[in-house]
Amino acid sequence: MRVSEKIIEGLLWLSAVITILITIGIIWVLLSESISFFQVVSLSEFLTEKEWTPLFADKKFGIMPLVAGTLLTTAVAIAVALPIGLTIAIYLNEYAHARMKQIVKPLLEVLATIPTVVYGFFALTVVTPFLQQFIPGMAGFNALSAGIVMGIMIIPMISSLSEDAISAVPRSLREAAYGMGSTRLQTSFGVMVPAASSGIVVSVILAISRAVGETMIVAIAAGQQPRLTLNPLVPIETITTYIVQVSMGDVPRDSLEYKTIFAAGITLFVFTFALNNLSFWIKKKYQEKYD
Amino acid sequence: MTNSEKNRLKDKAFQVFGIFCTFIGLVVLAIFLFDIVIEGVKRIDWDFLTSLPSRRASRAGILTAWVGTLWILVLTTLIAFPLGVAAGVYLEEYGKKNRLSSFLEINIANLAGVPSIIYGLLGLEIFVRQMRLGGSLLAGALTLSLLILPIIIVTTREAIKSVPRSIRDGSFALGASKWQTVWFQVLPASFGGILTGIILALSRAVGEAAPLIVIGALAYVPFTPSSPMDEFTVLPIQIFNWTSRPQEAFLNNAAAAIIVLLIITFMLNGIAVYLRNRQQRKIKW
C-alpha cells in the first residue's frame, strides 16, 4: 500500500514537473538554433539592419521590419480594443442591470472562442473591401484591417479582466463618491477606474502580449512583405507571419534560412515573456492594496 | 445650463456610448456570421463533406480536413487529459507550499502566455526532428497537448479547490489513504469542472492552425489518415489554404469550411457551458 502510494505521488509529481521541462525545451530549442544563426549573422546586423530579405538572393537579416510590422498591427488592435473594452467594463459595472450583465458577458466571450483563422478570413474578405470604399489606395493586404479585427477579438479579454478589477474595488469607495453627489460617470472615472488601475493595466498588457503573438489573422490579411513603416495601409509582415511563410515553403533543413525562424521566434518569445512577467509583477505588487 | 445639468448630460452621453460599445462587438459578430453563412452555405452538401481536396474548387471537399481534425482531437485528449489532470492533482493535493510549487505556478502562468506559434517551433525541433515523428498526426497532437496543458492544469486546480475540506476529512477518518481519497472522493466530486476545462481546452486546440503549419502539417493531403503516424491536414489549415487563393470559388469553399469549423467549436463550447451550469445547480456543499 505504502509503495503504491509513493509511486502514484511520484507519477503525479512527474506530470507537474513536465511543465518545467516544456519551458526548458522552448528556451533550449530557440537558443540552440538561434546561436548557430548568430554565428553567421552578427547580433548588431540583426538589430540594426533595416531590411529583412533572407529568402532573396541578396540576403539581409534585420529584424526591425518584422518587429515594426508586429508593433503596428498590435497598436491598431489595442487602439480598437482598449477604449471599447474599458467602456464595456465600466458600463456593465456602473450602468447596466445585473440581468443584462448576465446575458452580455457570455455573449462577448463568444468573440474569444472563434478560431483566429476565421477572423483572418473576415479581415481579408469583409473588412478590407469595406474600408477600401472610404480609403482609396488602401492595399488588399494591410495592417489596418488585420489590426482592427484582432482588436475585436481581444475586446472580451480587456473587458472581462477590467470588469473583474473594477468590481473588486470596495463598495465603500463607490458609495462615498455617490454620497458626495457624483454622477455615475464621475464615480467611474474619478474613483473606480483609478482604484482599479493596476488590474486594468494588467489586462492591457496581457492583451498586447496576445496581439504580438497572434498569427493567423496577420498571416492572412496583413501581407508578407517585411517593411519598415508605420503606414497601416500597405502590406507588411509580422514576426509570426514570417515563421508561417517559411514553414509553408520548401526551405531546406539546416540552412540559414531555416534558422531564421528560430531567431524570429526568440525575438517574439522575449517580447511576450517580458510582457507576461511585467503583468505578474504589477498584479503582485499592487493587488492586495484593499485586502 | 448649470454645472450639475451638464454633468448629468455627460453621464447620459456615456451611457449611450456604453451601450454602443457593448453591442458593436456583437453586431460585428452577427454581420460576420451572416456573411459567412451567405457565402458558404450553398457549398455545403454531402459531396463537400465526403470529397478529397482538388485543384478545381467546385470538386474540392473537406473529407481529409475534418477527419484530420477528429484524429487530432482524439489524440490530443488522450495525451493532454491524463497529464494535465495529474499535474493539477499534484499541485492542489500533494504540493507543499515551497519554492518548487511557487515556481511551478509562475511557470504554468508563463506557459499559458507563450504564443501558439512558439509551441510549433518546439514541436518542430523535439517531436518532428529529434523524435523523428515527421509531420505526423502524433507530432501534431503532442504539440497541441503541450499548448493546452496549462489551461487543463489551471481548470483542474480550480475544480479540485471547490471540493470542501470536510469531504477529504471524512474520507481520511474512515481510514482511506491520500490517493484513495483523491481517487474515490475528490476526483468524482470535481469531475464536472475538470471536464468543462478539458472541453474548453479542446475547443481552443481545434481552431489552432499556426503551430501545426510550423510542424509541417500539409495543406494538400490526398488521402485520409489511417494511423497516428500519417501525414495530415486539419480544417483551419484547409481554410487558410483556400483563403490564400485569389479565385472567388475557393473563398466560397473557405466560408463553407468555416461553417463546419464553427459548428464544431460552438458545439464544444456549448457542451462546456451546459456542464458548468449543471454542475453549479447540482452541487451545493
The pLDDT score that the predictor gives to residue A218 is 95
* B19 in contact with chain A, both atoms CB, cutoff 8 A: yes
Please give the average per-residue pLDDT across B211-220, as a whole number.
Answer: 85
Model confidence at B202: pLDDT above 90 = yes
Among 1.10.3720.10, 3.40.50.300, 1.10.357.10, 1.10.1750.10, name the CATH number for the domain at B47-282: 1.10.3720.10
Task: Express each pLDDT in B103-128 by its tens digit.
Answer: 898 899 999 999 999 999 999 999 99
Which DSSP string do the residues of B218-257 spell out, in sequence order? -S--SS---STTSB---HHHHHHHHHTSS-HHHHHHHHHH
Beta-bridge mates of residue A61: A52
Model confidence at A271: pLDDT above 70 = yes
The DSSP 8-state label assigned to residue B52 in this structure reads P
Which of A216, A246, A260 would you mutate first to test chain B, the one with the most B CBs within 10 A? Answer: A216
What distance in Å separates residue B67's CA from the closest CA in chain A?
Answer: 18
Which of A2, A14, A19 would you mutate first to test chain B, the one with the most B CBs within 10 A? Answer: A19
Chain A CB contacts of B234 under 8 Å are: none
The grid coordinates of residue A168 equal 473588486
The pLDDT score that the predictor gives to residue A289 is 59
B137 contact partners, CB below 8 Å, separation of at least 6: B68, B71, B72, B75, B225, B227, B228, B229, B230, B231, B232
CA B23 centroid distance within chain: 25
Q: What is the pLDDT confidence band of residue A207, given thresholds at 50, 70 and 90?
A: very high
Chain B CB contacts of A104 under 8 Å are: 22, 26
- Identify which of A63-77, B16-30, B44-58 has the greatest average pLDDT: A63-77
A290 vs A3 pLDDT, higher one: A3
The grid coordinates of residue B53 equal 481536396
Task: Express each pLDDT in A162-202 by its tens digit.
Answer: 999 998 899 899 999 999 989 999 999 999 999 999 999 99
SS3 state at A210? helix
CA A147 to CA A272: how far, in whole Å? 18
Percent residues over pLDDT 90 in chain A: 66
A68 contact partners, CB below 8 Å, separation of at least 6: A227, A228, A229, A230, A236
CA A259 to CA A236: how far, in whole Å? 21
The pLDDT score that the predictor gives to residue B257 is 93
The grid coordinates of residue A125 equal 474578405
Task: Express each pLDDT in B138-158 by its tens digit.
Answer: 999 999 999 999 999 999 999
The pLDDT score that the predictor gives to residue A288 is 55
Using the structure block, give the residue that is written with the C-alpha cell 471599447: A84
The crossing angle, in degrees rounded to 10, of helices A64-90 and B3-40 is 120
* B277 in contact with chain A, both atoms CB, cutoff 8 A: no
Question: What phi and psi, each to the nearest 5 degrees, are found at residue B137?
Answer: -55, -40
Q: What is the pLDDT confidence band of residue B46, given thresholds at 50, 70 and 90?
A: confident
Percent residues over pLDDT 70 in chain A: 98
**pTM (two decimals):** 0.92
Q: What is the pLDDT confidence band of residue B2, given thresholds at 50, 70 and 90?
A: confident
B284 contact partners, CB below 8 Å, separation of at least 6: none
C-alpha distances in angstroms, B198 versus B82, B145, B148, B183, B205? 10, 11, 9, 18, 10
The pLDDT score that the predictor gives to residue A1 is 61
CA A253 to CA B56: how far, in whole Å? 32
The grid coordinates of residue A33 equal 538554433
One-letter amino acid at B98 equals N
What distance in Å separates residue B46's CA from the closest CA in chain A?
Answer: 22
Model confidence at B59: pLDDT above 90 = no
Q: Which of B18, B108, B115 sits opposite A87 (nearest CB)?
A: B18
